[in-house]
Chains A and B, each alone.
Chain A
């Protein structure tokens, strides 16, 4: 162990990642809750190897996990509203996931370089006087996207140096979180348990945050801007309009399959572009709610990120790390590492939380 001071924050992180209460952890580790509480509150600095071992076994992380000198990051400033809906436990769980994954990425990037010809730009709306729609248009032009639907949002972001990470948030109240951290490329933590069309829109929404929001502002305003950006990025006004003339649910299904956005988003876009009246908008929504109570038809395949997997493969193949070496580097159990980052043929990739 190169770092020898027990980091209480890491214990809290591990506990949140496993969705344990202090009592759960105490029971699983065979210690008292009082001990867990005191450790987490920094009242006990040094622990016996035996106690650390018990805690590590309970949370299924190696003991080295607790000795990392990592600083925990909170939610980005544009997610206050979502966080309020989530509840404390879910927020803690998601926070733990993104922190652990961020730590993995930081370590992997020590030996892996991301080269992006056209990185994700930062455009200040106040300084430039641009609207979110105009920013989306400029970004499409900057990345030289052809007319029509964006084929793959994940590929675009990863080609621009961003890293998209699929996570199980355990809730559908939050679709994704993105942030820029010092020394790291823009990170996008996306909920894998949402439909493919919603995943794409949410990812474009997060991209909007990364492009437009570098400093805190009114949360509702930022959310609205990111939403408008996503709509304009995925459905540019001039290009989508011919597909939204006199829209009906029965025709929007085919439009969805081509543009890879939900029927709900198409209805909203038609309304925002003033292609339908208030009454038509209401009527379409009534019909929508009646017809698609259990979800929309025409599933859109969820996009799959590849950058993080490439980084792991690079360590295994080019740098000759063994699974055990890599697990040691990332301070995770080998099983978790394999499940999270090394897909095997015929076996579904499950991201470790």
Chain B
């Protein structure tokens, strides 16, 4: 656990349950409400898009109009801005908390924690993702990740039980001595 992770997770702590439920319910709605035939015809990309839309809709329903919650859309990049403290983007992620993205400049800037017109500079850019099981039949984990270029600085898992929510550091171990290199995303790209 790093000081940065501790700080970022504490910024969005009040949202843990809403985020967790939005993603779980999004997956549940997708698998439960569409006909089996339609689901069978969906490719993974479509499935992920549908879950995303339902999850994001859930999030909007829960938080739109709540103090400090603003939904922003900058050229297709949809995020929840929470008190200018954190920007939350929903994604499907793998076990390492990594999401697949089209590497546009805007996307790279988001991942590199850089300034993007219309988004508050002070807010940390986070990805809150759902990790499906191998057969895409349920959500295994809800993972918060702090992107850094093409890699991940840290990941945390949100766990909700009996209305109490917690987070755990699940950052994969890095090779000793590479931590600093990982952080230097600018140098990595140059």
Contact = CB atoms under 8 A, between A and B. Distances in A.
Interface majority SS (helix, strand, loop, mixed), chain A: helix
| B36, B43, B133, B135 pick with most chain A CB within 10 angstroms | B135
A3 to B, nearest CB: 53
Contacts of B138: 297
A248 interface: yes
Interface in A230-261: 242-243, 246, 248-259
B40 A250 contact: no
How extensive is the interface on chain A, given as a class? Answer: 20 to 34
B6 to A, nearest CB: 33
A248 B44 contact: yes
B147 to A, nearest CB: 22
B12 interface: no
A256 B42 CA distance: 13
A242 B36 CA distance: 15
B44 A251 contact: yes
B36 A258 contact: yes
Nearest to B46: A251
A140 B68 CA distance: 61
A298 B134 contact: no
Interface residues of B, number: 16
Contact of B136 (A148, A250, A292): A250
Given A148-B37, A257-B36, A258-B36, A251 B137 contact: no
A263 interface: yes
A243 B137 contact: no
A90 B72 CA distance: 66
Nearest to B30: A254
A296 interface: yes
A250 B132 contact: yes
Nearest to B39: A254
B40 A243 contact: yes
A294 to B, nearest CB: 12
Contacts of A173: none
Contacts of A296: 135
A252 to B, nearest CB: 7
A329 interface: no
B40 A263 contact: no
B37 A298 contact: no
11 contacts: A148-B37, A242-B41, A250-B136, A253-B135, A254-B47, A255-B40, A256-B135, A258-B36, A263-B135, A292-B134, A297-B133
Given A250-B47, A251-B44, A297-B137, 7 more contacts: A248-B44, A250-B134, A250-B136, A251-B47, A258-B36, A287-B134, A296-B135
- Going nearest first, the 8 A-B pairs with the smallest beta carbon separation are A253-B135, A291-B134, A258-B40, A258-B36, A254-B39, A250-B136, A297-B137, A255-B40
